Structure 1
Amino acid sequence: MSQCPFANLLNPDTYAQGMPYKSLKDIRQHGPVVKIEDPLTDVPYWAVVGQQELDFVSKNPALFSSAKRTAFPMEIPQDEVDFIHCHTIINMDPPRHQKVRRIVREAFTPKRVNSYEPAFRAHAKQIIDRIVLRGECEFVEEVAAELPLIAILELLGVPLEDRNQFFEWTNTMMFADDPDMATSIEDGQIAAGECINYALALAAQHRQQPMNNITGALLDGNVDGEPITEEDFAWMFILILVGGNESTRTVISQGMRLLMEHPDQLEFLVQNPDKIVDAIDEILRYNTAFIQMRRTATEDIELGGQQLRAGDKVILHYHAVNHSEAVFGEDAMRFDVRRSERMPKLGQQLRSFGIGQHFCIGSHLARLELQVMFEEIITRLRNPSLQGEIAYIRSYFVNGIKNMRIRFDT
C-alpha cells in the first residue's frame, strides 16, 4: 500500500493535545470510507467517517462482526479474544448479544431511569456545594467525575466508601496508553483483576441477601434457560462500570471546556436555563465520549466506494461522523448550543451512543446525569474560566480530559 497521507487514528499521540478536528475533516473530504495504515501494529484499517456507511456497518452484524476481533479498536491477542473478551456484551454478535442485553435492559428503561432523578439532583447539589464558595477547583475529579461514579456504583450495589478505589481502578484500566494515568498495560490488567474479585464478592453477597439493582438483574437472569456464569457477570460488571462512569465524566468535562471557550453561549444558557436540555445534544455531538469502535468484515463487500475483504479491520469513528458537513451543515465544526433550533431532530442524528444493536443501553441514564449536572453547574458557577492549561488523555478510545483547573465567581 502506498504511503498514507492521513493521520493514524489509532495512534494515541494523535489525540494527546485534544481532538484533531482538522485531520478528521481532511479524511471526511476524501470520502466516507478511507484506508489508513497503522505502523504501530502493521494492521491497516478502513476508517468509516460517513454517517450512512457507519449506520450500515452498525446495523449489519452478520457482515461486520463485533465478536471476531472484539469491538475495541486496539489489537488484542486472539487467545484473549476467545477466552476473556468474549464474555463482554460489547463483543457479542447475534443471537447471544440480544439474549444477554435483555437481562439488563429493564434497569435502563426511561421510566426506571427517570425515577433516579431526585437522588441524582441531590448528589449534584452536594457536589457543587463542596466547591462553590472556594471560587476554584480541579473540575474533572471534583465535579465531572463525581455523579457518574456515584450513580453507577449505586446501581451496581457498591458502597460509596469504595468510590475512590473504583475511580483509581477505572482510570488505570481505561488509560493505560497515558503515562500520567497508568504505568503499564500490566497495571490495567491488575486493576481489572481487582474489579473482578470485587464483582465476585458482590455475587456471593447477592446469594445471601438478594439485591434489586443491575447486579441482581444480571445474576438472576438467564440465557437459553441457563444462568449467566460468574465469569460473564464479572466482565459485564466491569463494562457497565467503565461505560457508565468514564463516558459521562468525559462529556461533562468537555462540555464545560466548550462553554468556557464560548462565554456568549454560556451566558445564553444562564439566561435561558430551560434550553440546557437542548444544549446537551450539541455537547454530545461536539465531543463524543467514545471516539471509535471496531468491527471485522466477515465477507468481501463494497462500502462507500471501497472494496473491503473478509477479515479487514473496520473502524467506526463516531467523532468524525458527528462533525459531518453532509449531516450537520457547513458549520458542523462550530459549537452552537442553539443548533437544535435549526435542527429539531438533532438528537436523532447523533452517533454519540452508536446505533443499531449495540446502541448504548445507558443513554437515558447518561442524559439524565448530564442534565442535572449542567443545570447545577450553569446556574451556580458564574463566569467560569480556565486556570492554566488543559491536560488531555492520551487515548484514541476515550476522548477524555485528565485535569482542568477552573476559577469562577462566588
Structure 2
Amino acid sequence: MSECPFANLLNPDTYAKGMPYELLRQLRQAGPVLKMDDPITGVPYWAVVGHKELDYVSKNPALFSSALRSSFPMEHPQDMVDFIFSHTIINMDPPRHQKVRRIVHEAFTPKRVDTYEAAFRVHAKRIIDAVSPRGECEFVEEVAAELPLIAILELLGVPLTDRKQFFEWTNTMIYADDPDMATSEEDGQIAAGECINYALKLAEQHRLNPMNNITGTLLDGDVDGVPISEEDFAWMFILILVGGNESTRTVMSQGMRLLMEHPDQLAYLAANPDKIAAAVDEILRYNTAFTQMRRTATQDIALGGQAIKAGDKVILHYHAVNHDEAVFGDDAMQFDVRRAERMPKLGQQLRSFGIGQHFCIGSHLARLELLVMFEELIPRLRNAQPTGEIEYIRSYFVNGIKKMPIRFDAGL
C-alpha cells in the first residue's frame, strides 16, 4: 500500500502538543474514510472521520467486530485479546455483549445516577475550598482528578483512604502509552494486576457482607443463569475504574483549558450560570476523552467510497467526527459555549460517548460530574489563566492533560 500523505493517526507524536485540529480538518476534506499506513506497527488501517460513516460502523457490529482484535486501537498479541480483553464488555460482540451490558446498566441508570448529585456537590465544594484561598493550583491533579476518582471509588465500594493508590494505578495504566513518562507497558500490566487483586478482595468482602453498589450489582448478576465469574468481574472493575475516572478528568481539564483560551466565554458562563449545563455539551464535543477506537471488518464491504476487506483494521476517530462540518456547521472548528442554544440537539449529535451498542454506559454519570464541577468552580475561580506550559499526554488513545498550572481571582 502506498504511503498516505497525512500524518499517522496511530503515532503518539501526532498528539504530543495536543489535538492536531488542522490535520483532522484536512483529513475530513479528503474523505470520510481514508486508507492509512502505520509504519510503527506495519499494520495499515482505515480511518473513519465522517460522522455518518462512523455511525454506520458503530451500529453494525456484525460487519465491524469489537471482539476479533479488541476495540483498542493499538496492536496486541492475539492471545491477550482472546484471554484477557475478552472479559470486558467494550471488547464483546452480540449476543454476549447485550447480556453482560444489561447487568452493568443497572448501576448506571439516569434515575440511580441522579441520586448522587447531592453527594457530588459536597465533594465539589470541598475540592474548590481547598484551592480557592491560594489563588493558584495545578488544575489536573488538584481539581479535575478529584471528583471523578472519588465518585467512581465510592460507587465501586473502595474506601477513600485508598484513593491515592488508585490514582497512581490508573495513571500508570494510562501513561504507559506515553513515551515521555517513566512508565512502560510492563508497569501498566503490573498496575492492572494490583487492581485485579484489589477487586478480588472486594468480591470476597461482598460474599461476607453484600454491598449495594456497582460491585454488588456486577457480582450478583448472571448471564443465561450463570453468575459472572470473578475474573470477568475483575476486568470489568478495571474498565469501569479507568473509564469512569480518566474520561471525566480529561474532559474537565480540556474544558477548563478551552474556557481560559476564550475568556469572554468564561465570563459569559460566570454571569449566566444557568447556561453551564448547555455549555457542557460543547465542552464534550470539542475534546473527546478517548480519541479513537478500533473495529475489525468481518467481510468485504464498501464504506465512504472505499473497498474495505474482511480482516481490515478500522479506526473510529471520535474527535475528528465531532468537528464534522456537515453536522456541526461551517464553524465546527470553533469552540462556542452557546452552540447548544442554536443547536438544541447538540447532545444527540456529538459522538464523545460513541453510539450504537457500545454507547458509553457511564455517560449520564460523566455529564453529572462535569455539570456539578463547572457549576461550582466557574463562579469561584474567576479570571482563570494558565501560569505555565500545558503538558499533554503523548497518546493517540487518551486525549489527556498531565499538568496545567493556573492562577485565578478567588471568588466567595
TM-score, normalised relative to structure 1: 0.99
Corresponding residue number in structure 1 for 2:324: 324
Matched, 1:136 2:136: yes
How far the C-alpha of 1:323 sits from its partner, in A, is 0.5
- CA distance in structure 1 between the aligned counterparts of 2:126 and 2:3, rounded to whole angstroms: 54
- CA distance in structure 1 between the aligned counterparts of 2:377 and 2:145, rounded to whole angstroms: 13
- CA distance in structure 2 between the aligned counterparts of 1:241 and 1:216, rounded to whole angstroms: 15
- CA distance in structure 1 between the aligned counterparts of 2:182 and 2:352, rounded to whole angstroms: 26
Please give the secondary structure, in 1, of the residue aligned with 2:121. Answer: helix
**Aligned pairs for 1:10-409 within 5 A:** 10-409=10-409
How far the C-alpha of 1:2 sits from its partner, in A, is 1.5
5+ unaligned residues in a row in structure 2: which ranges? none
How far the C-alpha of 1:3 sits from its partner, in A, is 2.1
Matched residue type, 2:96: R
- CA distance in structure 1 between the aligned counterparts of 2:345 and 2:183, rounded to whole angstroms: 43
How far the C-alpha of 1:180 sits from its partner, in A, is 4.5
Please give the secondary structure, in 2, of the residue aligned with 1:107. Answer: coil
Please give the secondary structure, in 1, of the residue aligned with 2:366. Answer: helix
- Alpha-carbon RMSD across the aligned residues, in angstroms, is 0.6
- CA distance in structure 1 between the aligned counterparts of 2:385 and 2:392, rounded to whole angstroms: 17
How far the C-alpha of 1:262 sits from its partner, in A, is 0.1
- CA distance in structure 1 between the aligned counterparts of 2:132 and 2:181, rounded to whole angstroms: 27
Aligned-pair identity in percent equals 82
How far the C-alpha of 1:182 sits from its partner, in A, is 4.1
How far the C-alpha of 1:258 sits from its partner, in A, is 0.2
The answer to whether the 8 Å contact 1:280/1:371 transfers is yes
The answer to whether the 8 Å contact 1:386/1:406 transfers is yes
Q: Deviations over 1:213-264 (max 9, x none)?
A: 0000000000010001111000000000000000000000000000000000
The answer to whether the 8 Å contact 1:32/1:53 transfers is yes
Please give the secondary structure, in 2, of the residue aligned with 1:133. Answer: helix
The answer to whether the 8 Å contact 1:182/1:188 transfers is no
Matched residue type, 1:276: I
- CA distance in structure 2 between the aligned counterparts of 1:321 and 1:312, rounded to whole angstroms: 20
- CA distance in structure 1 between the aligned counterparts of 2:242 and 2:368, rounded to whole angstroms: 17
- CA distance in structure 1 between the aligned counterparts of 2:284 and 2:202, rounded to whole angstroms: 33
The answer to whether the 8 Å contact 1:137/1:407 transfers is yes
Please give the secondary structure, in 2, of the residue aligned with 1:295. Answer: strand
The answer to whether the 8 Å contact 1:170/1:242 transfers is yes
How far the C-alpha of 1:81 sits from its partner, in A, is 0.6
How far the C-alpha of 1:337 sits from its partner, in A, is 0.3
Q: How many residues align?
A: 410
Please give the secondary structure, in 1, of the residue aligned with 2:75. Answer: coil
The answer to whether the 8 Å contact 2:3/2:36 transfers is no
More moved, 349-358 vs 103-112: 103-112
Matched residue type, 1:331: D
Matched residue type, 1:272: N
CA gap 1:59/1:353 in 2 versus in 1, 3 angstroms:
same
